[in-house]
Amino acid sequence: MHLIADAIVLSVRAHGEHGAVVRAFTREDGVQPGYVRGGHARRLRPVLQAANLVRGEWRARTGEQLAALTVELLHSRAPLHREPLAAAALEWATALTAAALPEAQPYPRLHDALSATIDAVEAAPSAAGWAAALARYELLLLAELGFGLDLSACVATGDTDDLAFVSPKSGAAVGAAAAAGYEARLFPLPAFLLHGGEAGWPDVIAALAITGHFLARDVLVDRRRDTMAARERLVARLQRAVA
């Protein structure tokens, strides 16, 4: 096995005294793990930060062997890790991707969406500029893994013109008329998830409530406590920013 590709660093786990096992997301070959000699040492620690863009070279004698990985830094997101909200967003987006995706399976749409989300975090002066993109990324990840929400029509009536809620059981949209009397049991459906465009803070928080519910229920079932903790920290910080 020999692979050279640009990749987004997703996770770094210390291995031995100085080494590290790194999971990085390539566009054509999906999530690729590798052992970086000296990856936990001071010289490479800034290179192997979550969300950094690197050029990796993976080498292994067999497909079952953990590949040896060497990395070259292409673009650092280190300054973002000094900003609490941005750092929390990067921590969650990369942790979610590392935990949810199987290894070596290509997800080019997800790779592009994650890259765009990270770019938005980097470019926006405040969380208002990237929070909606993060919610859309979570929605896409659910769809790519086979747990997509059906927001095309009301699950009860088939109507498409008054969609206002999402069922926490089915993940399908519910029209305002069909939801009468049951609103408290449903998630409010923010318009930007249907039509795109800008999103205010109430809409962003509502969208994250929807995607968080289905990620915890359907995707992160066995890893909920560890992985969802990063999301809970992010949402708490966003809510404090809104208050």
How far apart are alpha carbons 67 and 214 in whole angstroms? Answer: 33
Q: Is residue 29 located within the same domain as residue 112? A: no
Q: Is residue 63 located within the same domain as residue 86? A: no
Residue 26 belongs to some domain of the structure: yes
CATH number (domain holding residue 14): 2.40.50.140
The answer to whether 173 and 153 are in contact (CB under 8 A) is yes
Q: What angle do CA 17, 22, 23 make, to 5 degrees?
A: 160
How far apart are alpha carbons 29 and 108 in whole angstroms? Answer: 9
Q: Is residue 6 located within the same domain as residue 101? A: no
- Strand residue runs (E) in 60-213: 68-75, 163-166, 173-175, 187-188
Q: Is residue 39 located within the same domain as residue 145? A: no
Residue 173 belongs to some domain of the structure: no
Q: Is residue 56 located within the same domain as residue 83? A: no
- The H or E element spanning position 66 is none
Which residue among 76, 111, 131 closes a domain?
Answer: 76
Q: Is residue 96 located within the same domain as residue 193? A: yes
How far apart are alpha carbons 10 and 2 in whole angstroms? Answer: 20
Structural domain harbouring 32 = 1-76
Q: Is residue 61 located within the same domain as residue 35? A: yes
Residue 216 belongs to some domain of the structure: yes
Q: Is residue 17 located within the same domain as residue 134? A: no
Q: Is residue 55 located within the same domain as residue 116? A: no
Which residue among 42, 76, 110 closes a domain?
Answer: 76
Which residue among 33, 53, 76 closes a domain?
Answer: 76
Q: Is residue 133 located within the same domain as residue 205? A: yes
Nearest residue to 144 via CA among 190, 113, 174 = 113
| pLDDT value at residue 42 | 81
Residue 117 belongs to some domain of the structure: yes
Q: Is residue 57 located within the same domain as residue 94? A: no
Strand 68-75 to 53-59 pairing: antiparallel
From the centroid of its chain, how far is CA 220?
12
Q: In which band, very low, low, confident or very high, does the pLDDT at 241 lie, cut at 50, 70 and 90?
A: confident
At 21-61, the pLDDT tens digits run: 999 999 999 999 999 998 887 889 899 999 999 999 999 98
Please state, as a whole number, how many other Cβ atoms lie within 10 Å of the Cβ of residue 186: 18
At 70-122, the pLDDT tens digits run: 999 999 999 999 999 999 999 999 999 999 999 999 999 999 999 999 999 99
Give pTM, 2 decimals.
0.93
From the centroid of its chain, how far is CA 157?
33
Token pair 């949402």 is found at 235
Number of structural domains found in the chain: 2
Q: Is residue 32 located within the same domain as residue 87? A: no
Nearest residue to 27 via CA among 41, 2, 7 = 7
Residue 209 belongs to some domain of the structure: yes
The answer to whether 80 and 90 are in contact (CB under 8 A) is yes
| pLDDT value at residue 224 | 58
The answer to whether 10 and 52 are in contact (CB under 8 A) is no
